[in-house]
Amino acid sequence: MKGLFSWATVVLLGFVSLFFIMKLFSYFQPKPSLPPSPMALPVIGHFHLIGYRVHQSFHKLSAILRPLFHVMLGSVPFIVASDAAAARDILREHEKCFVDRKTAETITRTGSLKELQWIRKEEVRKLLGLLYEKAERRQEWTSGRLLRGSATTGDQMMNSGGSDDCHGHTERGGLRRILWEHRSAAAQKEGRQGSLQLRQSDGADPRGGRAARKENSVKTAVAETIHHLRDARREIESVVGLSRLVEESDVPNLPLLHTIVKETLRLHPAFPIISRHSNAPCKIRGYSIPPTPESRSTFGFSRRCSWSVGRSFGVDVKGQHFHLLPFGTGRRMCPGMSLALQLIHTTLANVMQCFELSIVGGMAEMTEGHGASLPRAHRLVGTPKARIKFLP
């Protein structure tokens, strides 16, 4: 028993001295000067400061530590940029260091968007058909259930056009086929730019992720729009009239609709945190950023502008203005942006044109839920009343 006790003491002393020797070594190693951070706890780092809604936790920290700070998620440093200038430094000035992300490859070609317009039209009509049905039966509608169909359009476009299945459940359909055909050629190219781009996407289920993002944006836009329906509808009626449905080609002539969508993306970004890995050491604002996982939050700076119905506030959502980056920017920005914007605008315009929507309870509850694609915490439940009937 006595021998066992002395062995345990020797092992324990060994571990303690190893710990102190390692500490001593690390003390003399040159350290990168990371941006400031709040007080960290041993082992867990800053996990105790991060809540369910990670972007909101970053936003709170950025009120004290803006514009650039770091948090330790366990032993992993996360650099967070929380204003437009810092985001610009990272995403434009040092873009080459932050183009990395993990896993699956995806490809996009701008021409395909036009070719596959029929799918989007079909999906929007399906949604309108469902709403007409609900209106006739005087049933309530739940945004989640109604929009699930249209949210799969992106996925259909990725797949459709395959030789044996027009809705393309084959690996070589549609954009996926284009990806297949061009992957090897594109991989050999040095500059991966132009209308054909080789990209990587994050997440274990990228298709589910982007469908959810678009679906959430349409739902939130519907909820936001309900407050500004009358003006938006007047605009649609003066531009398109009452004899036909709004088409994609009408969208550029509907500035109020654009403002509503833009404001929705600003107030409720479908993707509030965009994370990139740094693939090379770089210096930003005097801080040394090591080649480790890095992240920035669009949340802090995307809510600065004020709601302005009726006029666009001169900021675009296509990655040019670092105040508002719902689709990211640069080489790794969202390749589904044009598709998502087309769908959000036309779906919203068609719903506004055809239906009078009222929300059960009177007001839309806009509290944020949690999840990477930021769903709303409460479902939007309402009652549709048909204004004009276009479908048979």
Residues in contact with ligand HEM by the rule CB under 6 A: 101, 106, 154, 158, 199-201, 206, 210, 213-214, 217, 270-271, 274, 276, 326-329, 332-336, 339-340
Q: How far is the C-alpha of 167 from the C-alpha of 178, rounded, in Å?
A: 15
Q: How near is the Cβ of 185 to ligand HEM at its closest, in Å?
A: 18
Partner residues linked to 347 by β-bridges: none
Closer Cβ to ligand HEM, 246 or 343, answer by number: 343
| Residue with smaller CB distance to ligand HEM, 67 or 154 | 154
CB closer to ligand HEM, 62 vs 298: 298
Least Å from the CB of residue 158 to ligand HEM = 6
Q: Which residue number, 45 or 319, has a Cβ lying nearer to ligand HEM?
A: 319
Least Å distance, CB 136 to ligand HEM, is: 30
Binding residue per annotation — 334?
A: yes
- CA 120 to CA 347: how far, in whole Å? 9
Distance CA 82, CA 18 (A): 39
Look up residue 119 and give its amino acid. I
Would you say 200 or 253 has its CB closer to ligand HEM? 200
| Nearest alpha-carbon partner for 350 in 89, 125, 14 | 125
Q: What are the φ and ψ backbone dihedral angles of 337, each rounded to 5 degrees?
A: -60, -50
Residue 236 vs 340, nearer CB to ligand HEM: 340
Nearest CA-CA partner of 342 in 162, 176, 110, 132: 110
Burial of 324 (0-12, 13-18, 19+ CB in 10 A): buried
**To the nearest whole angstrom, how small is the minimum distance from the Cβ of residue 179 to ligand HEM?**
10
Helix-then-strand count for the chain, H and E: 13, 11
With the C-alpha atoms ordered 236, 241, 246, 247, is the resulting torsion angle positive or negative?
Answer: negative
The per-residue DSSP string of 96-122 comes to GGG-B--S-EEEEEHHHHHHTHHHHHH
CA distance linking residue 356 with residue 289, whole number of Å = 53
Q: Which is nearer to ligand HEM, 134 or 214 (CB)?
A: 214
- DSSP designation for 384: E
Least distance between ligand HEM and beta carbon 343 (Å): 7
Least separation in angstroms between CB 373 and ligand HEM:
8
Least distance (Å) between residue 49 CB and ligand HEM: 24
- Binding positions for heme are 334
